[in-house]
C-alpha cells in the first residue's frame, strides 16, 4: 500500500482534503519534567503513548495534511520516480562468490534482482573452479534458489531479512525475518535438499547469529530495551519427532551499557562472542569442536579499552587502543588471556585511524580512515615468518569510498575491492595480493535517461572544501556539482550531515542524486565532528559535552557554501537522518536564516527526554555517546541547551519535512511528532514555509522495505526539496 493511500484512509478519505488547508494542531497537555533543579513543561509528552487512539488519529491527520500540501507535486514526483527507475538496471545480479563446503561440495553464491520484484533472490550454482566466475545474466541450468525474499514478503506490508547463512556443510539454511520494522526477528531453518523446515526457536530474536558447526546455531535474544543481551546455542533436530534437548545459554550480559554480537571465524573453527559498549569491548572465543566448553576470554574488559579480534591461521590479530588513541595492531597466541599477551605489529600512526584487519595465511589487509578518506593497506608474510610494512592500495580519484571485502578462504591470494565516488558508480575489482594485478569484475551501470541521455561522469566535478568553525577548526566538505556551475550564489544546494558514533560519511555514488545534479544542484557532505572521518579525536570533539561542536560545524559548512558563491541561504536545503536529524534540527535552531528548507528523516530531535528514560530502547547503551542526563547534571545542562525540541525559538524558520515510521525502535515516532507540534506552535507562521510530518504506518528505522516504494518515497522527498529551493526561491 502506498503512503498516500494509507494517509487518506487514515484521515477519512479524499473528502477530507478540502478541510486540510490548516495544519493539525496537537492538543497541549502540560506535563512537568523535573531534573537537577530544572523544571521543563512538556505540552506534548502525551505522544509517548504510540498506540493511543488520539495519537494515531493525530498521525493520520498529519499525513493527510502533508498529502494536501504536496498534492501539486504529483507530476514532479512521477518524473523523479521515472528518473530513478529508468537509470537503474532492475534485473541484475551480484558477482558470484566461490565457497567450498566441509562436505566437499563447491558452489558459486550470488543474488539476483528481477524487474517488477521488490526483493532479492539468493541463489547458488555448482562450481568446479574458483578461477572461472560464471557469467550469470539469466537463471542458468543447475541454479538452486537458496532463498527468495519475494516469496517470504508476499502478503506482508513490511519485510526485512536479518540473518541469511548457509551451514558449513552447505546443506542447511538459517535466516531470520522482521515483518513489522521493529527489529524483532523470527528465526527459520530449512534443509536445502528438500526445502524441509527444521525446528527452530519460536521466541523473538535479534537480527544476527551464526553457525557453530553443521548442526548447531548460535542466536541472540534481546531484553525489553531491544538490547541483545543473551547468546544461545541451538542444536538442530533432523525432524520434529526428535526430542528437544533445550537451548543452552552461552552468555548473559547484565550490564545495560553493553550489547552482544557473534561471528564465525574465517576458517569456521571458532565463534567470536563480542560484548561491547560505546567505549569498552570484551571478546570471547568458543571452539566449534567443543561448544559445550566455556567460551574463553581474550582479554577482560577494562573501562576505556576497545579491541576487536581476527582469527588468523597462525595467531589472533587484535586492533586495539591500549596506549594508542588512533588504534594499533597486535598479534597474540590463540590462548591469549590479557593485553600482556599482545605483541605489537603495526603501531599507532598520526593521522591514521585503524578500523580493522582481515587476516589470511600470507597477507594482512588493514582498513583505516585518513584525511576523511578510506585507506586500505596490505602486509605480506616475509620469508622469516614476519610481516612487511603496510603498503597502501591506490585509488585514482581525489574523493572516494572504498572497502576490502572479506574473503572466505583463509589461504586466499586475492581479495575483492569495492570503490565508488560522488561521480563514479560502484565498481567491484579483484586484486591479486601476490602480483598486485587488478581487474574489474563488475562496474555498476547508470542506464540511459530518456531526456538526459547517457550518464557522463565528466559532466560533473567533485572537490574538497574546508569550512572554518567558530573555534577555528577546519571542517571538510565533499562537494559535487555540474561542470558548468557559475559561483554566483544562484545554484540550489543540498547539504547533508550526520556526525555521531564515529561513523565516517565517505563520498558515495547515488542514482537519485543525479536528479538533483541534472537540475543544477550543488550537493555536499558536511564531515562534522562527532563522525570518524578525521580519526578518534574528531569523534571525541563531537560527543558528550563536546557535542555542540557538531552543530556549529554544520552551520559553518552552510555559511561556507553561501559565502563562497556555491548557493544562497534561500536556495540551501539541509538533510540528515537519525542522529543526523539531530544535527540539522539543532543547526536550524542556531541559524534558522542559513537554510530555506530542512528534511529530517527519523530525527533524534527530542534527545534529552529520550536519554532521561532508561526504559526506552537503546537509552542506557547510548549514555556513553550523548551523556547520562539522568544522573549527571552537567550532561543534562549540555543536552538541554541543544536538544531541538526544547530550543525552538520564535521567528522565521525554514520549511520542514520530518519523515518517520510508526514501528521505529531506534528513534521513536514520538520525537518528530512532538518536534513538529512544537515548531508549529512557536515559529513565525508562513504559508510559504510549511512544517510537515509524514509517517510510514508499517515500517521501522530504515523506512519501507520494498525497493519500488522506497523509490517513490525518495521521489516524494526530492520533489519537496526541489519545490522549496528552486520553485520558491
Which among 83, 601, 664, 713 is annotated as catalytic?
Answer: 664
Task: Give the cell for residue 630.
Answer: 539522568
User: Which strand ranges, in their side-by-side order, compose the sheet holding 363-370?
Assistant: 353-359, 363-370, 373-380, 391-392
Q: Who contacts 642 (Cβ-Cβ below 8 Å, separation ≥6)?
A: 547, 548, 551, 586, 589
Could you tell me if 467 and 553 are in contact, meaning their C-beta atoms sit under 8 angstroms apart? Answer: yes
Helices (H), ranges, 88-146: none
Give the three-state DSSP class for 663.
Answer: coil
Return d(Cα 4, Cα 13) in angstroms, integer.
11
The residues that bridge with 121 in the sheet, in sequence order, are 112, 148
Return d(Cα 361, Cα 364) in angstroms, integer.
8
Which among 48, 701, 705, 713 is annotated as catalytic?
Answer: 701
Q: Is 320 a catalytic residue?
A: no
Return d(Cα 258, Cα 605) in angstroms, integer.
24
CA atoms within 13 A on the CB side of 713: 23
Q: Is 452 a catalytic residue?
A: no
Return d(Cα 62, Cα 697) in angstroms, integer.
12
Return d(Cα 101, Cα 604) in angstroms, integer.
44
Which among 120, 277, 578, 705 is annotated as catalytic?
Answer: 578
| DSSP designation for 348 | -
Q: Who contacts 210 (Cβ-Cβ below 8 Å, separation ≥6)?
A: 163, 165, 217, 218, 262, 263, 264, 271
Q: Is 471 a catalytic residue?
A: no
Give the three-state DSSP class for 189.
Answer: strand
Residues in the chain: 729
Angle (CA) 355 357 361, round 5° = 175
Q: Who contacts 4 (Cβ-Cβ below 8 Å, separation ≥6)?
A: 67
Could you tell me if 336 and 322 are in contact, meaning their C-beta atoms sit under 8 angstroms apart? Answer: no
Please list the active-site residues.
Answer: 578, 664, 701
Amino acid at each position: 500500500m502506498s503512503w498516500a493511500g494509507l494517509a487518506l484512509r487514515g484521515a477519512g478519505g479524499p473528502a477530507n482534503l478540502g478541510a486540510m488547508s490548516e495544519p493539525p494542531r496537537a492538543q497541549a497537555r502540560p506535563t512537568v519534567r523535573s531534573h537537577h533543579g530544572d523544571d521543563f513543561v512538556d505540552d506534548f509528552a502525551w505522544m509517548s503513548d504510540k498506540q493511543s487512539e488520539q495519537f494515531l488519529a493525530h498521525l493520520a491527520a498529519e499525513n493527510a495534511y502533508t498529502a494536501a500540501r504536496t498534492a501539486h507535486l504529483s507530476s514532479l514526483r512521477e518524473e523523479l520516480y521515472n528518473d530513478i527507475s529508468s537509470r537503474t538496471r532492475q534485473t541484475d545480479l551480484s558477482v558470484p562468490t566461490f565457497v567450498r563446503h566441509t562436505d566437499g561440495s563447491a558452489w558459486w553464491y550470488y543474488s539476483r534482482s528481477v524487474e517488477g520484484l521488490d526483493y532479492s533472490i539468493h541463489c547458488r550454482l555448482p562450481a568446479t573452479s574458483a578461477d572461472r566466475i560464471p557469467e550469470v545474466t539469466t537463471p542458468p541450468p543447475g541454479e538452486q534458489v537458496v532463498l527468495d525474499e519475494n516469496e517470504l514478503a508476499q502478503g506482508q506490508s513490511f519485510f526485512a531479512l536479518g540473518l541469511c547463512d548457509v551451514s558449513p556443510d552447505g546443506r542447511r539454511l538459517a535466516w531470520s525475518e522482521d515483518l513489522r520494522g521493529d527489529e524483532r526477528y523470527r528465526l527459520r531453518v530449512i534443509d536445502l535438499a528438500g526445502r524441509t523446515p527444521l525446528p527452530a526457536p519460536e521466541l523473538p530474536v535479534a537480527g544476527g547469529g551464526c553457525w557453530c558447526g553443521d548442526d548447531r546455531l548460535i542466536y541472540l535474544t534481546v531484553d525489553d530495551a531491544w538490547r541483545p543481551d543473551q547468546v544461545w546455542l541451538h542444536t538442530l533436530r533432523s525432524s520434529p519427532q526428535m526430542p528437544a534437548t533445550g537451548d543452552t545459554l552461552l552468555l548473559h550480559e547484565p550490564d545495560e551499557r553493553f550489547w552482544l554480537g557473534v561471528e564465525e571465524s574465517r576458517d569456521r573453527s571458532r565463534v567470536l562472542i563480542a560484548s561491547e559498549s560505546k567505549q569498552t569491548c570484551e571478546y570471547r572465543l568458543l571452539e566449534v569442536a567443543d561448544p559445550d566448553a566455556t567460551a574463553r576470554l581474550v582479554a577482560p574488559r577494562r573501562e576505556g579499552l576497545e579491541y576487536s579480534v581476527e582469527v588468523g591461521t597462525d595467531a589472533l590479530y587484535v586492533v586495539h587502543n591500549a596506549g594508542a588513541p588512533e588504534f594499533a595492531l597486535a598479534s597474540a597466541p590463540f590462548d591469549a588471556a590479557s593485553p600482556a599477551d599482545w605483541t605489537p605489529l603495526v603501531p599507532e600512526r598520526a593521522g591514521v585511524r585503524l578500523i580493522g584487519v582481515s587476516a589470511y595465511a600470507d597477507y594482512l589487509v588493514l582498513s583505516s580512515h585518513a584525511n576523511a578518506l578510506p585507506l586500505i593497506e596490505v602486509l605480506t608474510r616475509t620469508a622469516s615468518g614476519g610481516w612487511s610494512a603496510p603498503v597502501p592500495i591506490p585509488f585514482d580519484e581525489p574523493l572516494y569510498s572504498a572497502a576490502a571485502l572479506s574473503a572466505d578462504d583463509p589461504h586466499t591470494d586475492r581479495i575483492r575491492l569495492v570503490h565508488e565516488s560522488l561521480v563514479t558508480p560502484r565498481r567491484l575489482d579483484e586484486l591479486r595480493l601476490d602480483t598486485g594485478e587488478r581487474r574489474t569484475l563488475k562496474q555498476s551501470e547508470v542506464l540511459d535517461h530518456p531526456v538526459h541521455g547517457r550518464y557522463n561522469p565528466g559532466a560533473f566535478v567533485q572537490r574538497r572544501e574546508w569550512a572554518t568553525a567558530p573555534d577555528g577548526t577546519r571542517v571538510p566538505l565533499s562537494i559535487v556539482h555540474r561542470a558548468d556551475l557559475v559561483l554566483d550564489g544562484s545554484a540550489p544546494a543540498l547539504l547533508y550531515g550526520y556526525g555521531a558514533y564515529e561513523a565516517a560519511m565517505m563520498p558515495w555514488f547515488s542514482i537519485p542524486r543525479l536528479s538533483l545534479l541534472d537540475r543544477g544542484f550543488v550537493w555536499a557532505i558536511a564531515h562534522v565532528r562527532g563522525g570518524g572521518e578525521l580519526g578518534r579525536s574528531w569523534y571525541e570533539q563531537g560527543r558528550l559535552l563536546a557535542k555542540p561542536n557538531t552543530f556549529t560545524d554544520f552551520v559553518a559548512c552552510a555559511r561556507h557554501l553561501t559565502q563562497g558563491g556555491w548557493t544562497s541561504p534561500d536556495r540551501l536545503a539541509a538533510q540528515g537522518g537519525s542522529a543526523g536529524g539531530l544535527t540539522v534540527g539543532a543547526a536550524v535552531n542556531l541559524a534558522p536564516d542559513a537554510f530555506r528548507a530542512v528534511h529530517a528523516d527519523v530525527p533524534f530531535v527530542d534527545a534529552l527526554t529520550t536519554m532521561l528514560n532508561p526504559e526506552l530502547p537503546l537509552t542506557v547503551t547510548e549514555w556513553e555517546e550523548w551523556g547520562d542526563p539522568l544522573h549527571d547534571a552537567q550532561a543534562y545542562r549540555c543536552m538541554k541547551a541543544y536538544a531541538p525540541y526544547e530550543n525552538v525559538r520564535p521567528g522565521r524558520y525554514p520549511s520542514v519535512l520530518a519523515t518517520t515510521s510508526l514501528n521505529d525502535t531506534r528513534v521513536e515516532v514520538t520525537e518528530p511528532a512532538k518536534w513538529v507540534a512544537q515548531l508549529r506552535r512557536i515559529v513565525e507562521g508562513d504559508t510559504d514555509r510549511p512544517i510537515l510530518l509524514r509517517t510510514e504506518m508499517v515500517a521501522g528505522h530504515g523506512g519501507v522495505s520494498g525497493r519500488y516504494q522506497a523509490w517513490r518515497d525518495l521521489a516524494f522527498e526530492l520533489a519537496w526539496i526541489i519545490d522549496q529551493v528552486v520553485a520558491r526561491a
